Structure formats: C-alpha cells, structure tokens
C-alpha cells in the first residue's frame, strides 16, 4: 500500500505546524538515519538538524509536497556527510554510498513502506538490547520511536522526569560505546529482547490511544505504527503466544477509535459509544489473533493474551448492558496475579463495580490511595469519583472529579472531568441523609 504524504496542519503558527509534522515523522527519520550511522544517539541529533533546516527553509520557500520525505532526505544527506568526515566510518560509507547512488532518494517520492517497517523494527530491537537495563530500553525506545517527551514517558511509568532523562542519556551512550549493531536479531537474541519490545509497542499504542498531553485525545499515527509493528512481529515470531496476544489486544482497541470521540473531539465514554461505529474488520482480526495465541500457548495465558481476552468481552457485547462484567472481573483477577500493578488493580476495581456494585469496588480503590505510584495519577480520583456518585455521595464525588481534573494533563480529559464535577452540583446532588 502506498504511503500517503504527511500533510502540514493549518495552524496559525508555522513553527508549530512544522514541529507537529516532525513529531509524526521523527521515528521514521531516526530509524532511516540509524541504518546509515549505526548510532541511535547520532541519528536522533541528525533528525533534529533536519527539523532546524525545515524551520529555516519552509517558511521562506514553502512547504514541500511530501514533508516527511523532505525531512528523511535532509537527515540522510547529513548522515552521509558525517560518515564521509569520519575515518572510522569509511567502510560503511563505501557500502551505503553505492546503495544510495544506485537508487537515489528523491524528496518528492514517498518512502517505501516495507523499508520503513524494517527500519522501525530494527530501531525497536536495537534500543531494547540486553546491554541496557529494562527501564532504559523502554525509555529510549519510547523517546525515539514513539516521539514521546521525557514528561510523557515519566507519566506512563509514574516516575520522576529527571529519572527518565538520565536513563535516555545513559542508554544512548551505552549503545554507542558497546558498538551495538542496528539489526533485528534472530534466534535466542530476538527472544531475549522480546519482552521489552512488546512492552514498548504496547506503550506507544497507549500514548496514541489516550494522549498524555495536548488538545486531542487521540494521536492516530502512534496507534498505526504500533499496530503495524505488532503485526510484523506476529509474522516473524508465529510461535510466540504473547506476540499474538499483543496483536489481538491492539486490534480490539483500535477497532473502537472512531467511536471514542464526538464531533468536536470530545471523549465519549465506553458506555455511551455508538458500537455500530466499531470497526468489525479489526474486531475479526483481534479474534483471529487471540485464537492464534491460544493455539500456540503451552501454559497459562500471559498478560497481553489476558488483556486481549478482556477486550474481546467488550467486542462481543452488542450493548454496554450485555457486557460480561463477571468474566472481565475474573480475567482482571488473573491478570493481577500474573502481572501485579496498581493500575491493573484499579482496572479490576472498575470491573468489580459493574459485576458486584460500587461498594466492593470502592474498598479496592481506597486501598490503592496509599500507593505512591498513583499519587498523581488522575484516573484514581476519577474512578473513585464515579463510584461515590453511584453510591449517591455527590459532594465527595465532586471533590474527587475536581482533583482528577487538576491532575489531568490532556485538555480533553480535563474538560470531561470538570463536566462530571459540575454534574454533581445539580439539585439533589448532596449526600443522602
């Protein structure tokens, strides 16, 4: 399928529009340049150089027909110049130079989608090399491939921003000093990195599915990249159940995208979504991938397969009321035992509230209040506010929704939470006698 050129948004601020295009295209540019220089840190710097060139030239000369290809060509040309200047890259220059001269890269030509997929996959596996700690692998790949800022990564992992920044800097230095190859490994080497690769793809999708920052709830380009990478991995590693489990989960989640926002971009809660807008083809793909995960599994299902099974429960329900909440709560119980975390437990509380009522769920949520990792997590007071409202404790619910709104960094989520807090002020909204 032919890759479509990236369009520059019609913003009033040209620099802001260019930076938006760069954020979308930077993973592909970094991956393409890393194949030349074999150093992800240098590749990121060259991509930033291409952004600076765009900020200087586009306002003066006009936006090129294919901005993404322009950025790629500019970064690659600078990479080749760098290779020529450094004697230690002489051998690589001879190989790369011959390839580029045989098939010159034209600015207005769309990039080869297969080539992009391969480069992105190489970038993921390179950044997830075992010489790095698990935390550093994930932080670096989210920065390079997902285009996430240190703030967004810190938010996803509930750790300080300074910690994330240090992990990224050290990771790039380590990869360079160890001479890690820019490649997709085979055999045991691939299996050793698989857990980190799956986690990174999952987190990239999540950032696209519910953006941490900004005015928009969704960042579709991130979802598309993550889903494509999951599908590629499923073809490369057909006997790995968790690869199919992740692919299934992302297919199910992506199937709801069109129904998750209203006409003005406002969030639409699951219970209010028009399920006729759910993508049945993606749901069918999710069911198939989940079946493959089950077929190749030799033991208990892993975390991604369990989450896919939960998503399948939603996909099979024609209405919100038909949802099998008891099964979802049970699956979350298995997930909590298999991969315990405060966020999983919070999700389990939501399912318990639907299966058994808000009272038992509130007990679970109240136990989570002391979790340091959830101290600034806006969904904790959001869920607690919903449970209190269902129990008729409107004044307390309002306080929780207001706190959640203060913690939310996405403008759309903040507006929704403020609206829910306002609903608790309506007549009859006080605590019952």
Query: Which one, of 132, 124, 140, 249, lies nearest residue 190 by Cα?
Result: 124
Task: Dump pLDDT digits (tens) for 121-160.
Answer: 788 888 888 888 878 888 887 788 767 788 878 876 778 8
Q: What is the pLDDT of residue 109?
A: 43
How far apart CA 112 and CA 134 sit, in angstroms, is 32
Q: What is the DSSP string of 47-83?
A: HHHHHHHHHHHHHHH---SSHHHHHHHHHHHHHHHHH
DSSP letter assigned to residue 97: H
Q: What is the pLDDT of residue 192?
A: 79
Q: Output the six-digit token pair for 243.
A: 């690869």
Q: What is the pLDDT of residue 432?
A: 38
Query: Which one, of 425, 426, 387, 379, lies nearest residue 403 by Cα?
Result: 379
Q: What is the pLDDT of residue 145?
A: 72
Task: Dump pLDDT digits (tens) for 215-243.
Answer: 555 677 778 878 888 988 888 788 999 99
Q: Output the six-digit token pair for 432.
A: 């019952």
Which residues are registered as beta bridge partners of 261?
Answer: 267
Within the chain, which residues score under 70 in pLDDT?
1-16, 86-118, 146, 156, 211-218, 427-433
CB 150 within 8 A of CB 161: yes
Exposed/middle/buried for residue 101 (C-beta within 10 Å: 0-12, 13-18, 19+): exposed
Q: What is the pLDDT of residue 87?
A: 53
CB 193 within 8 A of CB 237: no
| Predicted TM-score (pTM) above 0.75 | no
Q: What is the pLDDT of residue 128?
A: 83
Q: What is the pLDDT of residue 21?
A: 78
Q: What is the widest separation between alpha-carbon atoms in the chain?
A: 82
Query: Which one, of 175, 31, 35, lies nearest residue 96 by Cα?
Result: 35
Cα–Cα distances (Å) from 415 to 330, 410, 411, in that order, read 32, 9, 6
């Amino acid at each position: 399928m032919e890759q479509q050129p990236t369009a520059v948004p019609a913003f009033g601020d040209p620099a802001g529009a260019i930076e938006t295009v760069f954020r979308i295209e930077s993973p592909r540019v970094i991956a393409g340049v890393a194949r030349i220089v074999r150093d992800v840190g240098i590749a990121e710097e060259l991509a930033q150089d291409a952004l600076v060139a765009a900020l200087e030239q586009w306002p003066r000369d006009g936006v090129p027909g294919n901005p993404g290809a322009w950025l790629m060509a500019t970064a690659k040309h600078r990479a080749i110049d760098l290779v020529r200047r450094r004697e230690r890259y002489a051998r690589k220059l001879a190989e790369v130079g011959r390839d580029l001269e045989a098939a010159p890269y034209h600015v207005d030509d769309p990039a080869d989608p297969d080539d992009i997929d391969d480069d992105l996959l190489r970038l993921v596996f390179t950044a997830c090399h075992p010489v790095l700690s698990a935390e550093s692998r994930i932080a670096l790949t989210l920065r390079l491939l997902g285009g996430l800022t240190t703030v967004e990564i810190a938010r996803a992992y509930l750790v300080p921003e300074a910690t994330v920044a240090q992990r990224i800097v050290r990771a790039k230095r380590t990869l360079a000093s160890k001479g890690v190859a820019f490649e997709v490994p085979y055999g045991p080497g691939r299996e050793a990195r698989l857990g980190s690769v799956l986690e990174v793809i999952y987190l990239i999708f999540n950032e696209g599915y519910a953006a941490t920052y900004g005015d928009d709830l969704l960042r579709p380009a991130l979802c598309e990249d993550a889903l494509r990478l999951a599908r590629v991995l499923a073809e490369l590693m057909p006997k790995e159940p968790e690869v199919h489990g992740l692919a299934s989960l992302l297919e199910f989640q992506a199937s709801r995208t069109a129904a998750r926002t209203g006409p003005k971009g406002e969030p639409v809660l699951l219970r209010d979504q028009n399920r006729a807008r759910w993508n049945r083809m993606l749901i069918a793909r999710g069911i198939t991938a989940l079946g493959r995960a089950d077929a190749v599994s030799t033991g208990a299902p892993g975390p991604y397969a369990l989450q896919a099974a939960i998503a399948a429960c939603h996909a099979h329900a024609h209405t919100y009321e038909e949802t099998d909440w008891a099964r979802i709560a049970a699956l979350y119980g298995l997930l909590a035992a298999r991969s315990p975390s405060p966020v999983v437990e919070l999700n389990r509380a939501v399912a318990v509230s639907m299966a058994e009522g808000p009272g038992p769920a509130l007990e679970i949520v109240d136990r989570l209040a002391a979790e340091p990792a959830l101290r600034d997590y806006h969904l904790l007071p959001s869920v607690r506010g919903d449970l209190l409202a269902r129990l008729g404790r409107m004044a307390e619910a309002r306080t929780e929704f207001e706190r959640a709104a203060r913690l939310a960094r996405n403008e759309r989520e903040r507006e929704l939470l403020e609206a829910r807090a306002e609903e608790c002020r309506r007549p009859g909204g006080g605590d019952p006698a």
